[in-house]
């Protein structure tokens, strides 16, 4: 058994982060058709949404199920480059209720957000007849449909909408609180019915404002093609596609994420003035991007991604990954000396989406049909010492952590130790005979922890997990 002592593990977590990265894409699955969204449902599978209306399941070994999880190709318009099936989000209680949500452009070229249900007899299939329309948004033009969706840390569904399209936001939708275009929406869909498909959260910022739509959480966005929540601290990251000159990355830290933020479009493109002739507030009231880049070298359209919170590559910890679909580059932001600095690396394949698996590892979706895992060739990861396929899930977790020993070839582990990041033992647990041992984490504070598995002969395996 390969081992790693705790002092070395702490060194890897805290010190390898500062090393330069040698990023690579490791092919994980292939043969997809224009994959534009990738999510997990709380287990080791990945669900990929194809733009023409299919959702397919990728298993943990990279194989793709031959029968789609869902096929709604007959209900959507995928004739335009920015139309089709665009978004996918699984309800936080999907394991029990089987609900998931999609965002697509219908045959009248409008945005539809709908709920579907998992088949009651086969967990690898959805019921195509279970559709419940949650929200329909008229689209004045065919482009700038955004479409990304995530359930936030509060359990509400967040939906990104573009400014309605054309160029330059000719209708000034993004600054207009009277419509849902160019916005980030936030709704409660827990008890959706045909007559009452969603509820407005009472703490949405414009509730009670007769001049604003209650669904709006944030505004001033052009085409927020992808956004994500940091699973470690609930920070909100938005990659907003620019007009002619600048691509931008917006960050709202969780402590400030109280809604009502104006990100500035069409008044500003990135940090530069774009059109301030009508309806622009004082610039002091706007939230400007934490990072931006110009259209130099052929760059033209950002694909927002995720902040790395996985366990396999500690040197990537905390980096925010994104891509430019035109130059086929992957970029990452690193926080240095109070500022975010960006680095770009060249790859092949037009990356239209990133995805995060249940353990926080990241994947890139190429429009050519490949799903690749993001790896760092220069980093020795914590789990590189373990060749016996022990896995932890969910990771990040809240109240309970599962240690899956099913593929582990030895029965020698007898003790489980949990350390905080100062190296203090905060829990010592005896190994049970269960193949999946459950650890109660409800009394732990939010943060990063190390889990040490010890064998009877003194060998050790160490993993990182996050409480959120």
Residue 248 confidence class, pLDDT cut points 50, 70, 90: very high
Share of the chain above pLDDT 70, in %: 92
Average pLDDT of the residues in 259-276: 98
For position 245, what pLDDT does the model report?
97
pLDDT at 71 over 70: yes
What is the rounded CA–CA span in Å between residue 19 and residue 406?
Answer: 35
How much is the pLDDT for 18?
Answer: 42
Strand partners, 338: none
Average pLDDT over residues 223-250: 97
Residue 465 has pLDDT above 90, yes or no: no
User: Quick one: average pLDDT of 336-345?
Assistant: 91
Domains and CATH numbers, the chain: 20-376 (2.120.10.30), 382-467 (2.60.40.3080)
Q: What is the pLDDT, as a whole number, of residue 387? A: 44
Q: Pick the residue with more confidence: 367 or 21?
A: 367
The DSSP result for 259-293, as a single string, is S-EE--TTTEETTEE---SSS---GGGS---SEEE
| Token pair for 365 | 């979706």
Q: Look at residue 114 and give its three-state secondary structure.
A: strand
Residue 62: per-residue pLDDT:
97
Note the pTM of the prediction, 2 decimals: 0.81
Mean of the pLDDT values across residues 207-225?
98
Assess whether pLDDT exceeds 90 at residue 378. Answer: no
pLDDT computed for residue 211 by the predictor: 97
Per-residue pLDDT, 410: 64
% the chain with pLDDT above 90: 75
CB of 216 closer than 8 Å to CB of 161: no
Q: What is the 3-state secondary structure (H, E, C) of the chain?
A: CCCCCHHHHHHHHHHHHHCCCCEEEEEEECCCCCEEEEECCCCCCEEEEECCCEEEEECCCCCECCCCCEECHHHECCCCCCCCEEEEEECCCHHHHCEEEEEEEECCCCEEEEEEEECCCCCCCEEEEEEEEEEEECCCCCCCCCCCEEECCCCCEEEECCCCCCCCCCCCCCCCCCCCCCEEEEEECCCCCCCCCCECCCCCCCCCCCCCCCCEEEECCCCCCEEEECCCCCCEEEEECCCCCEEEEEEECHHHCCCCEECCCCCEECCEECCCCCCCCCHHHCCCCCEEEECHHHCCCEECCCECCCCCCHHHCCCEEEEECCCCEEEEEEEECCEEEEEEEECCCCEEEEEECCCCCEEEEECCCCEEEEEECCCCCHHHHCCCCCEEECCCECCEEEEECCCCCCCCEEEEEEEECCCCEEEEEECCCCCEEEEECCCCCCEEEEEEEEECCCCEEEEEEEEC
pLDDT at 379 over 80: no
pLDDT of residue 355: 98
Average pLDDT for the chain: 91
pLDDT digits (tens, 9 = 90+) for 437-449: 999 999 998 888 8
What count of other Cβ atoms lies within 10 Å of the Cβ of residue 62?
14
The pLDDT tens digits of the residues spanning 312-331 come to 888 899 999 999 999 999 99
Q: Is the pLDDT of residue 209 over 90?
A: yes
In this prediction, residues 206-222 reach a mean pLDDT of 98
Q: Is the pLDDT of residue 386 over 50?
A: no
């Amino acid at each position: 058994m390969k081992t790693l002592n705790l002092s070395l593990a702490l060194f890897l977590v805290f010190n390898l982060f500062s090393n330069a990265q040698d990023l690579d894409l490791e092919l994980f699955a292939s043969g997809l058709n224009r994959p534009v969204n990738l999510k997990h449902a709380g287990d080791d599978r990945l669900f990929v949404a194809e733009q023409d209306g299919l959702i397919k399941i990728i298993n943990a070994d990279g194989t793709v199920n031959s029968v789609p999880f869902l096929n709604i190709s007959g209900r959507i318009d995928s004739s335009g480059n920015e139309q089709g099936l665009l978004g996918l989000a699984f309800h936080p209680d999907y394991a029990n209720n089987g609900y998931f949500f999609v965002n697509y452009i219908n045959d009248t070229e409008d945005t539809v957000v709908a709920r579907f249900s998992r088949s009651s007899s086969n967990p690898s299939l959805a019921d195509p007849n279970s559709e419940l329309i949650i929200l329909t948004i008229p689209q004045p033009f065919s482009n700038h449909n955004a479409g990304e969706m995530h359930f936030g840390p509060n359990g509400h569904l967040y939906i990104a909408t573009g400014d309605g399209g054309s160029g330059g936001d000719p209708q000034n939708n993004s600054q207009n609180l009277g419509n849902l275009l160019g916005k980030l929406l936030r709704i409660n869909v827990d008890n959706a019915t045909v007559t009452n498909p969603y509820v407005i959260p009472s703490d949405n910022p414009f509730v009670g404002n007769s001049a604003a739509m209650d669904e709006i959480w944030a505004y001033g966005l052009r085409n927020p093609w992808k956004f994500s929540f940091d699973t470690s601290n609930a920070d909100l990251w938005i990659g907003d596609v620019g007009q002619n000159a600048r691509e931008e990355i917006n960050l709202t830290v969780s402590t400030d994420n109280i809604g009502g933020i104006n990100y500035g479009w069409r008044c500003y493109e990135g940090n530069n003035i774009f059109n301030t002739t009508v309806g622009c507030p004082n610039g002091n009231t706007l939230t400007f991007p934490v990072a931006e880049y110009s259209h130099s070298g052929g760059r033209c359209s950002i694909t927002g991604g995720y902040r790395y919170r996985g366990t396999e590559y500690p040197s990537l910890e905390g980096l925010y990954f994104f891509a430019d679909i035109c130059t086929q580059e992957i970029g990452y932001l690193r926080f240095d000396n109070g500022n975010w600095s960006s680095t770009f690396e060249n790859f092949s394949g037009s990356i239209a989406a990133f995805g995060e698996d249940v353990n926080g590892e990241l994947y890139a979706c190429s429009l050519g049909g490949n799903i690749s895992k993001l790896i760092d060739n220069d980093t020795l990861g914590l789990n590189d010492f373990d060749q016996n396929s022990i896995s932890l899930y969910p990771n990040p977790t809240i109240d309970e952590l599962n240690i899956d020993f099913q593929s582990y070839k030895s029965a020698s582990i007898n003790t489980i130790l949990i350390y905080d990041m100062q190296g203090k033992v905060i829990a010592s647990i005896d190994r049970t005979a269960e193949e999946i041992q459950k650890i109660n984490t409800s009394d732990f504070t939010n943060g990063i922890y190390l889990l040490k598995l010890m064998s009877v002969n003194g060998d050790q395996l160490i993993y990182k997990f996050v409480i959120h």
